[in-house]
Structure 1
Amino acid sequence: MCLKVSPNGLAAGAIVLILSVAYACTLAPGLTWANHGSDGGDLVTAAAVLGVAHPTGYPTYVLLSRLFQSLPAGDLAYRTNLFSAFCAVFTALWVFVIVRGLLPGRDWTTTTAASIAALGFGFSPLTWSQAVITEVYSLNAWFTAVILLFLLWEGWQPSPSGASPWGGRWPARCMALVVGLSLGNHLTIALPAAVWVGWGVFHARPGQRWRDLGQRLVWVGLGSLVYLALPLCAAAHPPVNWGRADTWEGFWWVVSAQPYRELAFGLPPMFLASRVQAWATLLVQQFGWAGVAVGCTGLLYADRVLPPEGRSVRGWVWLTAAMAVLFSLFAMTYNTADSYAYLIPVSLIFAIWVGLGCAWLLKLAARWNLWGALLLAAVAFVLVAWKARATTPLVDASRDSRAATYAARVLTLAPTGAIVFTSSDRDTFSLWYAHYALGHRPDLSLVAGPLLKFAWYRENLRVTYPRLHIPERPGPNGNWREAVTEAHRRRFPICQTFLEDDDHNDDDRVIGCDASDE
């Protein structure tokens, strides 16, 4: 029997295969600092010990990555990196599905345009950089694409009478559960989640809108109960236990991201112009000048390729434009150097516009000359391939073993029973991974200096290392590190880590120690 595969199925399979190979060849082999991935050590370790990661805790990400850590391949960090690649591949696949769903007809131009959009997104530097390391942004992009697909589905589904999709239909409830789960990964997903709720209520029959709103909120709330994993995990006192979320104060401190509140919309006005310029530059870096032109064409000329009966679908396109603006405003005003990662949803939305623009141009060319349209499609695929080749060295993490090597050197050089102070995310999280997740050097006590100011962290140290005596009060000038050092100087060697590329580390030391007085 001959198995028939549609052109769309072949294209989707090719997208998955091509991106899977590209990501596999550039995937970090383990724990990595590549592509600003220093938070990876915290996330991998939290998943491995079922702990609470840095705010907002990311319970959805931690639980899902824990499943990937059970795969029989590589070490824990490598398996968690695979999770990012998996999410990125299927986000690109959703881009294909969305563009294909937007476009009418089954001719080759629509499949080609959707394929170009998916590959363009998958090979964009932002997407690719996060697909090969442990971070939450690939999963966030996946949820964003899924919610956009939900929006599109609901734009097509309502009956002429405007009946609510909640009349005993489990698919709608499942969508709401997924939206709720997405809130447990990254809070920026709250924007498309809120749009999904409002979009569905708008399409409901006027007499059912309040009921529809209530049911959506209830089922989204049920999905967001994934946050209950935080107090449950915290109650077991894992070594990675940000905020002690088993108390109400600690739970709120984590889920509301209190340490980072001042960063949101906290960019000084004097830097706003440079951020806008950086935003424009970054957009060009993702798709090239040709891609930007095609994407803008897709947004402006969407009416030329969308079906005439799809008013709600045309509204969907402009709704994505509003979402892209809001995502961009948040990213540009977030006062950190790596806020560019918040622009991945913008890149995803723009890739959809690229697909619409490609479809319009291909259909226009096909009306004049079929061979000219085929040549245009070939040029588009060549440009995507050229962009992928140019991007590879910028995002390739396959040879980056700095984090693992650093942690191994520190743990090898640390004297027996030492207290090892760390001073930044990179040294802290890489050592947490080696010490807590992999179980190396159980005789040591790791103390993250910047976290000592938090009562929850000091209490966590007391539980994790019963041999330590953590003072109740800081030393002179509020110096907690000095207080901890003085309490143990005569009992254990006291060590401090150094980063090899630190400007003040002239001899490339990774650790310096003072012997105990005993």
Structure 2
Amino acid sequence: MPNRRSIVVSAVCGALALALYASTVAPGLVAIEDTPKFQFVGRILGTAHPPGYPFYVVVSHVFGLIPLGNLAWRINMLSAVCAATTVALVGRAAMDLGISPLVASAVSLGLATGAGFWFSATIAEVYALHGTLFAAMVAALGRWQRTQRPAWFFAGIAAFSIGLGHHTSIVTVGPGVAVFAIAIAPGFSLRPRTIASILGLFALGFSQYLFVLVRTRQGAWGESPASTLPELIDVIRGARWTGYLAAPTLATLTERFPVVVARLIEEVSWPAAALAIAGVGVLAWKNRPALGLLLGSLAGVLAFCTFFSGQTEGFLQPAFVSTWLLAACGVHGIISLLQERRMRLASLVASVALTFIAVWHLRTNLDARDLSHRRFEMRYFDALVTQLPGRSGILAEDFLVDRMVLYEKFSNPAFQDRDLVAQVEATPARVEEYAGGGRQLFAFASSASRLRQSGFPFDYAKWPLEYGSLQQFLDDQPRGSVIAYAVPAMRLGTALAQDAVPAAIIGARRPVPSFANRAVIGVIGGASAVESEDARSRASAFVGRGTPVGNTTISAPADVLAEASYDEAAIRIGSRVVIRSSQPVLAVWSPRGDLVAALALTDEGRVPMPSSPVDLHRLRALPDSTPVDAAGANLTAAAVGGHVRLRTPPPSLAVDAHVQHPSRTPMVLYAARRSRTLAPQLIDAGAASDALDVRELAGDALAGALREDGFADVSQWTGMAHVYRIALPAEEGSWHLAFGGLPDSVAARWTGGGLANAAPIDLTEQLEQVDGATKRLHVARDHHRLFLGVGWSPVTSDETGPFAVTIQGDAEVLLPCGEGDCRTIAVQLWSDAGQRVDITVNGAHLDPLTVGAGWSVYRVAIPASARHVGMNSLVIGPQRPVRLADISVDHAVRSTRPSE
């Protein structure tokens, strides 16, 4: 009966833990360290990083065959099952140590809700299984001590041996196991037959690594290739990681050991750590073999983590188990002492106290460890596979992003069906090879940036992808997220038909089809919302900062206003518009109050993919370049957009025959403008930016400089009010030169030997696409800063978002206009008080704006005579400094509601 009761109690604890983990496990692909790799490596029976983890790979392969959910979720659930099993085994091991079921249950749940242990249960990683194998070993050895049945001893050694084929750091608990076995039964443990059996189990454990050898020879994907026995030994011993081992010195010990211990205490809590210390004393008195096992294992793991600077939290899994079992023994000792003094409720009181630790863990760690709404990566990379053009190539980026792409390659049949190629090497040679083979290439941010430096014109704007339906998008948001939504009357009926109007999920009513403006602010999972609907005038819903949203307990993170009129909807933070469109608009704040997204729905009522660090950028056709040599070249056409790419070969030491002195700056440009100033600068050039020499010249100084630099034709500079000499760094490179405006004339000369070249940087299609009729130049620290010319401060931000400030009399914006664009623009400005702001487009003075205090959007109609297709000069001339948030570019003049 006692044995049956211990099984039931431990099973209940494991079931409770599994329920917790299943409700908080990541629902699919997640961008967390090695997790994407472990989500697919079992599917293909590949090998992970050393030591290869053959046992995990095989187990995850089998688990991945279960026909439930997506592959990534199934492998995440493998960790949940392993962690829950560990919880059950710890409860069973505690009861075998003589701990009462109540205390054993409380200890198990304390382990289950620790931050690190819980985290390992919600993602695909090797650590949960590592903890399970250690707990299984401890539980089996505990049963052996209790029953003296050899089968339990060999079961424990078998668990240890399996662990050798999973996470080789399990060897650090070996000394504790040896001490335990010899202390319990030295005659049995040291018998040659027993030793032979142990060595046989060890051999079987290490034989799992033959899997790495076989799969390497079969050509399987892997990070631990080993075709020979010496290579396999290097994989097993983790030769790659020797650089992470610290020198075994006193300095390392005093520096690292306190950090490791502090992380252990943070995991279990100070009360549990204190109880574990008491448990050491209890076991030293009552059960020294168990003390050798638990304390020896704990010491081995702590020593390993002290001298190996890897993922400490994961490596500490056996230490978490050992510490909680020691804490259970400490509680047991205290209970025994109290019961001797006839305190009959001591066990109950102690169990309740331990349960409070578990409850505190639960409350403290829930928000951070609940990954159930971590769906962005799975949505994004699924969309990438299904929405990129067929026969696309995806360039390699970094370890994490590449593994997420590989997950799709190995798990999503559409990847092969659509003939996509993953991990194209991000080098000029490979890009030219694949692009020349007819593939459309895409790169993530860092690879796109590097290749732009090599002259490859990757878009600055992201490639548009769709997230999915509005309902799916809202379902993916965490409970407690604040949602603001507005739809103009002309779109409400269509939006209802598309199921693109949020209702019950944010506590709002579902409107009936009608011609009405609608605005609503609600909370995911809320019972009520702030709603406004009006058929004749503007509808607006407002919630002030810190005010509860509707009848919920969730407060607004800022002053939020959702508003809709006949043909336009907008959402504001304070007075600033964060999104404006003729389509329905949506803004989302996380439960912590962070603005997650502000976007307009598509014509089909779908949600566009929010911007993120994994945005993709398309490679466009290479532009024609202009050769530049000692004879000089006219680059006016190349610089028509205000930006040019210059590529310079390694300069030679040859003397420039056209000038009197050796050229110390072999690439020299002259840029001029008839009226306004320029501010040439290098973009993303790092320290080389400081080597750029820019001087404005005029009169005799200009004539002398032109003559000295070998520019014989001076007529190009006649009538120019501002002429600049620009000397690039005297080194090989690819230089993005921004002129800070639109130059009227540019010439260059290269005297460093060989041939340099210049190519235009076309930014005309690089604005944010808000909807089918509106693009937006939003001031930010991304590529949109390239549109800011002379007269602006660096981009800064406040709670409403980023902006730039005019820092002199007027400031210039480079405004790209396509065919039919820029008939009207909407400029969002902030002023400290009312003032007049002059507007000039390409030198043509338009009607000035009357600007009020705070943020406001001001519409500007640009006549056809003042604008042209391509890059335009927009000059904002305030009387006092103003802030610029964004400029919306409409494809056509907006309609107005017909009079009634």
TM-score by length of 2: 0.47
Quote the Cα distance in structure 2 between the aligned partners of 1:98 and 1:487. 61
1:112 aligns with 2:95: no
* Change in CA separation of 1:59 and 1:19 when aligned onto 2, cut-off 3 Å: same
Letter in 2 for 1:348: V
Q: CA offsets, 1:487-518, max 9 Å, x none? A: 44422344322389x9xx99746222324779
Letter in 2 for 1:257: G
Counterpart in the other structure of 1:11 = 9
Q: CA offsets, 1:210-233, max 9 Å, x none? A: 443232112221233222222333
By how many angstroms is 1:188 displaced?
0.6
Quote the Cα distance in structure 1 between the aligned partners of 2:103 and 2:28. 36
CA contact (8 A) 1:96 1:115 kept: yes
Quote the Cα distance in structure 1 between the aligned partners of 2:155 and 2:352. 40
Given the alignment, which residue of 368, 374, 389 partners 1:400? 374
CA contact (8 A) 2:164 2:171 kept: yes
SS at match of 2:295: helix
Counterpart in the other structure of 2:120 = 130
Given the alignment, which residue of 313, 317, 340 partners 2:291? 317
Given the alignment, which residue of 333, 336, 341 partners 1:360? 333
Counterpart in the other structure of 1:226 = 208
Q: CA offsets, 1:446-474, max 9 Å, x none? A: 2276xxxxxxxxxxxxxxxxxxxxxxxxx
Given the alignment, which residue of 145, 148, 160 partners 2:138? 148
1:72 aligns with 2:67: yes
Given the alignment, which residue of 359, 365, 374 partners 1:385? 359
Letter in 2 for 1:340: E
* Change in CA separation of 1:43 and 1:372 when aligned onto 2, cut-off 3 Å: closer
CA contact (8 A) 2:39 2:124 kept: yes
Letter in 1 for 2:36: G
SS at match of 1:419: strand
* Change in CA separation of 1:290 and 1:173 when aligned onto 2, cut-off 3 Å: closer
1:183 aligns with 2:164: yes
1:513 aligns with 2:618: yes
Given the alignment, which residue of 226, 247, 264 partners 1:283? 264
Structure of higher RCO (CA pairs closer than 8 Å, 6+ residues apart): 1
Counterpart in the other structure of 2:421 = 445
Counterpart in the other structure of 1:468 = none
Quote the Cα distance in structure 2 between the aligned partners of 1:268 and 1:31. 41
By how many angstroms is 1:31 displaced?
1.6
Quote the Cα distance in structure 2 between the aligned partners of 1:57 and 1:207. 31
Alignment of 1:129-278 (within 5 A): 129-156=119-146, 165=150, 173-193=154-174, 195-196=176-177, 199-200=180-181, 203-205=185-187, 209-238=191-220, 240-248=221-229, 250-265=231-246, 275-278=256-259
Given the alignment, which residue of 306, 327, 333 partners 2:307? 333
By how many angstroms is 1:319 displaced?
3.7
Quote the Cα distance in structure 2 between the aligned partners of 1:83 and 1:266. 36
The answer to which structure has the higher helix fraction is 1
Counterpart in the other structure of 1:476 = none
Quote the Cα distance in structure 1 between the aligned partners of 2:79 and 2:118. 10
Q: Which has the larger radius of gyration?
A: 2
Counterpart in the other structure of 2:274 = 293
Given the alignment, which residue of 443, 448, 465 partners 1:496? 443
SS at match of 1:361: helix
Quote the Cα distance in structure 2 between the aligned partners of 1:111 and 1:16. 13
SS at match of 1:441: helix
* Change in CA separation of 1:254 and 1:111 when aligned onto 2, cut-off 3 Å: same
* Change in CA separation of 1:11 and 1:300 when aligned onto 2, cut-off 3 Å: same
Q: CA offsets, 1:285-343, max 9 Å, x none? A: 22222212111111122245x3xxxxxx413313422321221122133234x322211
By how many angstroms is 1:257 displaced?
2.6
CA contact (8 A) 2:141 2:153 kept: no
Letter in 2 for 1:401: R
Counterpart in the other structure of 1:45 = 40
* Change in CA separation of 1:490 and 1:266 when aligned onto 2, cut-off 3 Å: farther
* Change in CA separation of 1:118 and 1:13 when aligned onto 2, cut-off 3 Å: same
Once the two structures are overlaid, the 10-residue window that deviates more, 419-428 or 174-183, is 174-183
Q: CA offsets, 1:424-466, max 9 Å, x none? A: 22201111111112233222222276xxxxxxxxxxxxxxxxx
Given the alignment, which residue of 3, 9, 24 partners 1:26? 24
Letter in 1 for 2:615: V
The answer to which structure has the higher strand fraction is 2
SS at match of 2:395: strand
* Change in CA separation of 1:208 and 1:131 when aligned onto 2, cut-off 3 Å: closer
Quote the Cα distance in structure 1 between the aligned partners of 2:444 and 2:314. 28
By how many angstroms is 1:190 displaced?
1.8
SS at match of 2:104: helix
CA contact (8 A) 2:394 2:422 kept: yes
* Change in CA separation of 1:198 and 1:373 when aligned onto 2, cut-off 3 Å: closer
SS at match of 1:83: helix
* Change in CA separation of 1:431 and 1:291 when aligned onto 2, cut-off 3 Å: same
SS at match of 1:301: helix
Percent identity of equivalent pairs:
19
C-alpha RMSD over aligned residues: 3.3
CA contact (8 A) 1:50 1:233 kept: yes
Letter in 2 for 1:435: K
By how many angstroms is 1:384 displaced?
1.9
By how many angstroms is 1:10 displaced?
4.1
Letter in 2 for 1:26: T
Quote the Cα distance in structure 1 between the aligned partners of 2:619 and 2:155. 58
Letter in 1 for 2:295: A
Quote the Cα distance in structure 2 between the aligned partners of 1:208 and 1:382. 44
**Divergent runs of 4+, >6 A:** 266-272
By how many angstroms is 1:25 displaced?
1.1
Letter in 2 for 1:511: L
Corresponding residue pairs, total: 457
CA contact (8 A) 1:16 1:90 kept: yes
Quote the Cα distance in structure 1 between the aligned partners of 2:93 and 2:3. 20
Quote the Cα distance in structure 2 between the aligned partners of 1:388 and 1:444. 44
Given the alignment, which residue of 430, 453, 457 partners 1:484? 430
Letter in 2 for 1:495: F
* Change in CA separation of 1:490 and 1:269 when aligned onto 2, cut-off 3 Å: farther
Task: Identify unmatched segments of 5+ residues in structure 2.
Answer: 450-459, 462-610, 624-900
